[in-house]
Amino acid sequence: MTIDPSADRPVYKQLADLIRARIEAGEYRPGQRLPAESDYVAEYGISRDSVRRAIAVLRGEGLIVTELRGSRVREQGEAVIVSITSGAQVTARMPTEPERRQLGIAEG
């Protein structure tokens, strides 16, 4: 798969699509670390900022988590617990891009 800088779709979204496809295909497995930003820069000839924006999109979708030493694919069932009121808890994740399209939810 390639990234086309002259395409209408922004480069960072193209990279997010590529990484998402690799996750969905099982090429990147739950818990597996993603390649370093510099690896994506070298492989696709894009800016580090584009890589960071793509990672932010996937993190917002709940597909990956970012830690001190990079990002990894979120484990299935892994969730973030958010305290709402005293004694109440809700488990949630951001929808993936296909889920957002299906439900008509705007990005962001």
Q: What is the DSSP letter of 9?
A: S
In this predicted structure, the answer to whether residue 104 has a pLDDT above a threshold of 80 is no
Mean pLDDT score of the chain: 87
Residue 10: name the closest of 53, 63, 64 by CA.
Answer: 53
* Helix (H), strand (E) at residue 89: strand 89-92
Q: Which residues of 28-40 are buried (b: 16+ CB within 10 A; e: fewer)?
A: beeeeebeebeeb
What is the pLDDT, as a whole number, of residue 106?
A: 63
Domain ranges across the chain: 11-76
Q: Which pLDDT score is estimated for 83?
A: 59
Query: CATH number of the domain at 11-76, please?
Result: 1.10.10.10
Question: Tens of pLDDT along 50-94?
Answer: 999 999 999 988 899 988 889 999 887 655 665 578 888 777 787
What is the CB neighbour count within 10 angstroms for residue 64? 23
